[in-house]
Structure 1
Amino acid sequence: MSVLTADQIQSTYARAMKQQSEKAYEAALHTYGRILKTNPNVAEVHFQIGRILCDTDKASRAILHLRKATTLRPKERAVWMALADAIALGGTVEAEKEFLKALKDAPIDPATRVQLQDRFGARRRRSRPETGGMNRAQMQSLVDLIEAKRPVEAEKLASQMLRQFPKSAIAHNILAAAQALQGNRMGAEASFRAALRLDPNYSEAWEHLGGLLLSMERKPEAMECFRKAVSLCPGSISAVLTLASLQIDAGNAESVLPLLERLSAENETSPEIYSVLGSALSRLRKYEPAELVAGRLVEMMGDAVDAPALAFWAITKTKIGDDDKALEIFDAALRKDPDSPRAVSGKAQLLQTLGRFDEARDLFLHAFDIDPNNGENYRMFSASYKAKPGDPMIERMAQKFEDPTLSDNDRMNLGFGVSKLLEDAKDYDRVFKYLNVANGLMHKINPYDMAKRYHDVAALKEAYAAFDWKAADIPGTTDFAPIFVTGMPRSGTTLIEQIISSHSRVEGAGEVGEAAAAAHSLVMLRGKVRPIGSLKDEEFVALGTDFEKYIRERFPTAPQITDKSIQSYMALGLLKVAMPKAKFVVVRRDPRDNLLSIYKNKFPDETHAYAYDQLDLVKVYGTFVDMVDFWREHVPDWFYEVQYEDLIANPEEETRKLIAACGLEWEDACLSFHENKRKVQTLSVYQVRQPISKASVALWQRYEKDLKPMLDALREGGYVTD
């Protein structure tokens, strides 16, 4: 990219500001980035980038830019205020200390310095709103009426006070609360906003307005209010926990993790904080710290511990593989409350992964009775339940699907569940009625950025192509020899792992993901790929040895393990250089059946967002083919390819070839993989416990009309020829 002239910097900045004002944030960040490539010391650019990142729930990233802006423009009050917002919304305890230290010597007016110091000190938990002249007794009389749930009297008294003290933000806030309690939402909103016009730094009013907007189902506006409340009072437990819960539900747990960790450090004995922190960690798949937090939560609740807290601890235990303890804790939860939805469904799902389908079924049926609108229970139940024509469970779920009281999320889950049972019963004509609705809802909730996928794959291929893989010989690499099973989701990777892990020398570790994620982090930094040749030998070595340590801690007695992390194909070369004795198995399947199978299933949140649109499916499949073709061109002998249809047609012959490719001696148990009792946590939890069947081969032909967009795109891409 060419260097910008001074005039071009000015016009580029104006264009970025326009994009920012139109909330085209990604475009604005890109445009601002062009300026920084020419001149990294433009304070206004760092300031605006910081503002955008704060407004888009990336406050921890904003801190770096706003710190830079304070060094470039140390006298600018607005820059320090913005940095304070970023610290409040996404800073660690250390970041807060560093900010306060820098603030002491900041060349800004003393009033601003005191205001910012108080935000992280005397006013971190509660603001000091404008009283308008009201005395403490008058304010307390209003508060007492609200706390006593006497809103009519509170409204009358607040109105009287406002005639006497028209600039009292507190009186407006109490008036709003009284109006809200009486169902006058429009009046309450107007009163809250009047309070905030008088005192824009009134954290509690922002929080209360946010709660009102939530009750009016205006979630985006509510989120802005809670974000503002937390930025003003970063120690407010209620504001932080509400914001955190909203962000976790929206899939943004990463953005609030620093807030929750900071809050838990300040309030080490608060069960409520630990509960939300545990949810955030679990949502981020940080299961080991989540289990520690859940255990701490149970400990601090003592004799008052309830079934939901115990159930959450049990769920985290299952995630770290401590299933026996998890079952023990689930049973303790159910003794406290046999009708605890979280304990009943949690134990059902664990029994399902262990192959104890009959026990799981009975618990799921109980879950339907005690939590009838929970769509996830129906979907999970359907994974291990085989419906027959006329099965009453189909119509029960179909009727529930039409229930107008269902949330979109519950209807989505039910849609996937009932479509699966309809296919079981060979009622093919009705399947897509539910499947298209379910996928449409998921696509709406989780839109996929195809441009980013194309960019990442192209950048990786370019970086990989510049490296001499065959000549790579890194001293000090580990002899650890995991077997990576990779491919598209629903291509048969779980079946392949089940076969390999039936060997006496191999333990199936499931979708570990650590190695693939570490490799990705090694080469991708904020969307940019590091030149592979710039990696140091010790970085390759650490990639392998760190993964070995991770696995040894979890599977200390296993001679070998399988890692069924499907994204491993993206970093195949890196992982092979780091672990020269590792084996790689790439699973291929007819894309028509493969993509249909993806479209029929809901994946864990924040994963495979492309799965819910037929055209996105084909595009992502194309990038998978491109990546595998790349490795075949450069290192064809570094991996073994399995064609799913060949395995189904000739199971013994193909299984023997597979086991040999893994460097293992033949064992007959590999043909009896369905008798393997290991825990399975993927969508194939039921299928892998059945003998090989041809039932899912060419299943796409049942749905040619419904799959026309996908089938046409596959033909146009040259991925199928008939």
Structure 2
Amino acid sequence: MNQTPKAQVLVRQAASLLQQGFSQKAQQAINLAFQQGAASGVAWDIYAQACANLNQVQPAILGLKKAISLDGGRLDRALLLGQMLVRAGQWQDAANIYQQVIQQDDSQAKAWFGLGESLLGTKDVERALRCFSGALEREPDFPEARQRLAVCFLEKGEALKALRLLEKLISDFPDAVGPKVDYGEALRQANRYRQAQQELEKLQDHPVVGALARRRLVDVYLHTGEYDLAEQFLDGMDEVHQKEPDWILQRVRLDNIYGRNAEACERLRFLLQSEPGIANGWKQLMELTKSPLSDGELSCLKEQARLASKFGRQSTAADFHFALAFHFELTGERELEFRSLEKGNNLKHGLIRFDFDNYLSRVQPSRECYSAENIHEWSADSKARPCPAPIFILSLPRSGSTLVEQILGVHEDAEATGESDFAEQAWFALTGERSLFSAPELHRQMSAEKVEKFRQYYLAAAAEAGFDTRKRLVNKGINNHKFAGLLKAAFPEASFIDLRRNIMDVAFGCYRQNFASQLFSFSMDGCAREVALFYDNMAFWYNQLPAQEFHSLYYETLVNNFEPQVRELLAYCALSWDPRCLEFQRAKGKVSTASINQVSQGLFTQGVARWKKYEAYLGPMMDALRSHGLEPLRD
């Protein structure tokens, strides 16, 4: 169709206004052009871009589809259409667009980024991570891809990797506020609560990211026990934000803390009726009610699992299968529970592809640098710079470390620090390496001077995170047993608790827990190898250090003979008797691991020999343990 001269003038005028940044005026001009008969793909391009700039998402999508129907799917049109579909939450349609672009031109970093956004929208974090990495391979200085890669690491629970990316991004782009909000969240996930609070409070009134900063501050306050502040922030949100899933889930958690379970359940059910795709919400509902789902709720959960698998959202589908397993645990249907666990773990294992052999090739050489002679030679002079001796819990996940930490953390002379990454922070300050196991040669190069610096950096990190270093810092870092020699050299006066539990309860406990960051846990062999690594590490340390350096504690003995065991534990740690340690469940906040529900309920004796209920299905787990030198049926 030929355009009238007046329509052509209006199209050119709209294009000029758009180029100058006057999107609303450009939109008005192009609408007048349409009234004068304009019908070209270029006119619809201008209209779509103006709508996109004004955040009018659906009109922008319609305009782009019209332009494509008239003139074809040029690259710029396809990329903008994908971007608008992402904004609209039409993840699959957006993914289809970006995949078509990549098939035609694999070099397009923006297409890889857009595909990553689409996959992240469906919670397919592993595939999204690979797409953002692909974008950076093609365009290394792509700041948005760097930020979203960090978000993927946060979703996976890998806070240290996220911190490394975000610190560099903030350094390169100091005026960008988006990375700073994510940085605050990364600090929170790394248990650096004081720093997270400081960073997020700077942004809480920002016109663009303020609402997100305030929501993340609520998570900080919920962890540190500042419940009044958390409630104040939640109540202060506007009505729009109070309808969002994040707000409702935070409110549910606060209601649960205050014992308002009826209100919490009502909110959660309301949320799941409108947002049934929140897999963890289903499990949270069952934890609150302590009862299985109704028939209707179970059908809905199964349908969500089916849809997630159908549309390739394997990570989300796995989360639903873990939620189904919890339902069947509550109904006592053991086989259905186990099969759901199996499906969830298989899906996660297929996505993650964890290489245990490669991991061992870095952990064991690092450990072996700390012989008895080296530990003695490198030991820091604690008398020259006195501080209360830290308490390190050496244990596997699901061994009861949260219980022991909370018992000790109640004491007036101690402070629980959770799984805080002070050792990793100190190692980075000392060597520039984020992981303690990335470069074994750095451990071979240790010296008394370097160990002294490590000690100083460790205590500085604890102080900066808001912990009182005048107290005995209790750390239950799940990797402590892998570098106990370094900790002993840095803190010769420290107390080391060798915490163990029945190996089948530990191995199966890891397998049945939908861990975000324990990548070994999604296969039976991986669980068995991690257990075997712990026993191998502890045997190594007992060969290097006198047995009296460790306090041997068994979970089963602790929960069945509680007070005498607590007395022995306090005596070993040189802490005076404090009866409050017997009432650890009253501790204020600061439980954020997978054990939060057991700890808040008090002494959890139901965990003893729990694996025996599933013995009929755990033959492969027993075989895996035996293949790695452990006898699963020993007491």
Q: Give the structure-1-normalised TM-score.
A: 0.66
Whole-Å separation in 1 of the counterparts to 2:132 and 2:179: 19
Whole-Å separation in 1 of the counterparts to 2:559 and 2:501: 11
Q: How does 1:192-203 map to 2 (within 5 A)?
A: none
1:310 aligned counterpart, secondary structure: helix
| Offset, 1:204 | 6.7
Alignment partner for residue 615 of structure 2, among 687, 704, 717? 704
Alignment partner for residue 492 of structure 1, among 400, 404, 411? 400
| Offset, 1:155 | 4.4
Whole-Å separation in 1 of the counterparts to 2:130 and 2:439: 33
Whole-Å separation in 2 of the counterparts to 1:548 and 1:174: 52
Aligned to 1:39: none
Alignment partner for residue 475 of structure 2, among 558, 563, 568? 563
Aligned to 2:18: none
Q: AA paired with 1:719?
A: E
Whole-Å separation in 1 of the counterparts to 2:164 and 2:463: 31
Q: AA paired with 2:396?
A: M
1:332 aligns with 2:240: no
Aligned to 1:433: 339
Aligned to 2:75: 173
Deviations along 1:51-103, one digit per CA (max 9) or x if unpaired, are xxxxxxxxxxxxxxxxxxxxxxxxxxxxxxxxxxxxxxxxxxxxxxxxxxxxx
1:433 aligned counterpart, secondary structure: helix
1:154 aligns with 2:67: yes
Q: AA paired with 1:396?
A: E
| Offset, 1:478 | 3.6
Aligned to 2:170: 261
| Offset, 1:374 | 0.4
Contact 1:334 1:344 in 2 (8 A): no
| Offset, 1:289 | 5.8
Superposition RMSD in Å: 4.3
Contact 1:378 1:417 in 2 (8 A): yes
Change (3 A) 1:344 1:617: same
Aligned to 1:620: 530
Deviations along 1:652-704, one digit per CA (max 9) or x if unpaired, are 33222222111122233333333444432121112123343542222211111
Contact 1:248 1:280 in 2 (8 A): yes
Change (3 A) 1:415 1:537: same
Contact 1:384 1:685 in 2 (8 A): no
Whole-Å separation in 1 of the counterparts to 2:100 and 2:320: 40
Q: AA paired with 1:634?
A: Q
Deviations along 1:535-565, one digit per CA (max 9) or x if unpaired, are 2333222322333333345233863332121
Aligned to 1:41: none
Change (3 A) 1:208 1:443: closer
2:404 aligned counterpart, secondary structure: helix
Whole-Å separation in 2 of the counterparts to 1:598 and 1:526: 22
Change (3 A) 1:483 1:359: farther
Deviations along 1:406-457, one digit per CA (max 9) or x if unpaired, are 3433332233233234324433232112211221222123222111232123
Whole-Å separation in 1 of the counterparts to 2:602 and 2:187: 37
Over the matched positions of the two proteins, sequence identity in percent amounts to 23
| Offset, 1:400 | 0.8
Alignment partner for residue 422 of structure 1, among 328, 339, 343? 328
Compare 415-424 and 276-285 and name the one that shifted more.
276-285
Deviations along 1:333-359, one digit per CA (max 9) or x if unpaired, are 265543221111123345657887666
Alignment partner for residue 348 of structure 1, among 247, 252, 274? 252
Q: Unaligned regions of 5+ residues in structure 2, if any?
A: 1-39, 50-59, 86-92
Q: AA paired with 1:486?
A: L
Whole-Å separation in 2 of the counterparts to 1:215 and 1:575: 41
Whole-Å separation in 2 of the counterparts to 1:222 and 1:484: 39
1:144 aligns with 2:40: no
1:456 aligns with 2:368: no
| Offset, 1:583 | 0.9
Aligned to 1:60: none
Q: AA paired with 2:451?
A: F
Aligned to 1:27: none
Contact 2:419 2:475 in 1 (8 A): yes
1:602 aligned counterpart, secondary structure: coil
Contact 2:585 2:602 in 1 (8 A): yes
Compare 570-579 and 215-224 and name the one that shifted more.
215-224
1:705 aligned counterpart, secondary structure: helix
Change (3 A) 1:204 1:457: closer
Q: How does 1:297-312 map to 2 (within 5 A)?
A: 297-301=203-207, 306=211, 308-312=212-216
Whole-Å separation in 2 of the counterparts to 1:139 and 1:331: 48
Change (3 A) 1:522 1:174: closer
Contact 2:408 2:570 in 1 (8 A): yes
Whole-Å separation in 2 of the counterparts to 1:152 and 1:518: 54
Change (3 A) 1:456 1:353: farther
Deviations along 1:581-614, one digit per CA (max 9) or x if unpaired, are 22111210110111111111122x3x21001111
Q: AA paired with 1:548?
A: L
2:375 aligned counterpart, secondary structure: coil
Q: Unaligned regions of 5+ residues in structure 1, if any?
A: 1-137, 160-170
Compare 658-667 and 621-630 and name the one that shifted more.
658-667
Contact 2:422 2:458 in 1 (8 A): yes
| Offset, 1:489 | 0.5
Whole-Å separation in 2 of the counterparts to 1:662 and 1:215: 48
Q: Give the structure-2-normalised TM-score.
A: 0.74
Whole-Å separation in 1 of the counterparts to 2:591 and 2:132: 38
Alignment partner for residue 505 of structure 1, among 396, 413, 417? 413
Alignment partner for residue 681 of structure 1, among 580, 583, 592? 592
Alignment partner for residue 656 of structure 1, among 567, 579, 586? 567
| Offset, 1:463 | 1.4
Contact 1:158 1:175 in 2 (8 A): no
Q: AA paired with 1:432?
A: F
Alignment partner for residue 500 of structure 2, among 557, 575, 588? 588
Q: How does 1:72-471 map to 2 (within 5 A)?
A: 143-144=45-46, 146-147=48-49, 149-151=62-64, 154-155=67-68, 158=71, 172-173=74-75, 223=132, 226-227=135-136, 230-231=139-140, 234=142, 253=162, 256-257=165-166, 260-261=169-170, 264-265=173-174, 267-268=175-176, 291-301=197-207, 306=211, 308-318=212-222, 323-333=227-237, 337-349=241-253, 360-383=264-287, 385-387=289-291, 391-393=292-294, 396-397=297-298, 399-403=300-304, 404-406=306-308, 407-465=313-371, 467-470=373-376
Deviations along 1:249-287, one digit per CA (max 9) or x if unpaired, are 67774675367426642x54x6x5655665666667766
Compare 663-672 and 363-372 and name the one that shifted more.
363-372
Compare 350-359 and 694-703 and name the one that shifted more.
350-359
Change (3 A) 1:341 1:140: same
Q: AA paired with 1:628?
A: M
Aligned to 2:632: 720
Whole-Å separation in 2 of the counterparts to 1:259 and 1:711: 45
Compare 561-570 and 647-656 and name the one that shifted more.
647-656
Contact 2:393 2:475 in 1 (8 A): yes
1:566 aligned counterpart, secondary structure: coil
Q: AA paired with 2:388?
A: F
Q: AA paired with 1:437?
A: K
1:481 aligned counterpart, secondary structure: coil
Q: AA paired with 2:67?
A: A
Aligned to 2:519: 609
1:695 aligned counterpart, secondary structure: helix
Change (3 A) 1:357 1:454: farther
Change (3 A) 1:429 1:282: same
Whole-Å separation in 2 of the counterparts to 1:447 and 1:386: 34
1:488 aligned counterpart, secondary structure: coil
More relative contact order in 1 or in 2 (CA 8 Å, sep 6+)? 2
Change (3 A) 1:290 1:394: farther
1:490 aligned counterpart, secondary structure: coil
Change (3 A) 1:241 1:645: closer
